[in-house]
Amino acid sequence: MRDEKRVITSTILTNISMLKRNLLKNVSLLKDEIKKEEKILNSIPPSKIASDTLNKKFKFNERIYTALLNRIDIEIDKFTIAIQDFRRCLYSRKRDKP
């Protein structure tokens, strides 16, 4: 029984150690990637970065504006249908009156 516990404990500790090494290796690789990307980013002129940022904001705002316009169009259509229904109702009441 004790030998089984030792084997299990040893196996678990070995697995934990292996996972830790793999995680540390992955962290190291990610840090290297970040350094590479920072070098690339630092090589880009600030005016280009500002221009790209403004373009992204413009495109994002344009998508929001388009979505809002579509929503407004839907609401206008609903309102138009409601007005038509109201007019039909009034017209039918006028016809039904003696």
Report the C-alpha gap between 66 and 63 in whole angstroms: 5
**Least confident range of 8-17, 32-41, 70-79, 86-95:** 86-95
Residue 50 and residue 19 share a domain: no
| Number of independent structural domains in the chain | 2
Q: Supply the DSSP string of 57-97, one letter for each residue.
A: HHHHHHHHHHHHHHHHHHHHHHHHHHHHHHHHHHHHHHHH-
Residue 52 and residue 37 share a domain: no
Q: What is residue 6's three-state secondary structure?
A: helix
Average pLDDT, the chain: 87
The model's pLDDT over 41-78, given as tens digits with 9 standing for 90+, comes to 788 888 888 888 889 999 999 999 999 999 999 999 99
Residues 6-24 have a mean pLDDT of 88
Residue 76 and residue 50 share a domain: yes
Report the C-alpha gap between 13 and 15 in whole angstroms: 5
Question: What does the pLDDT read at residue 97?
Answer: 64
Is the pTM higher than 0.75? The answer reads no
Token readout for 20 is: 């830790």
Report the C-alpha gap between 38 and 32 in whole angstroms: 10
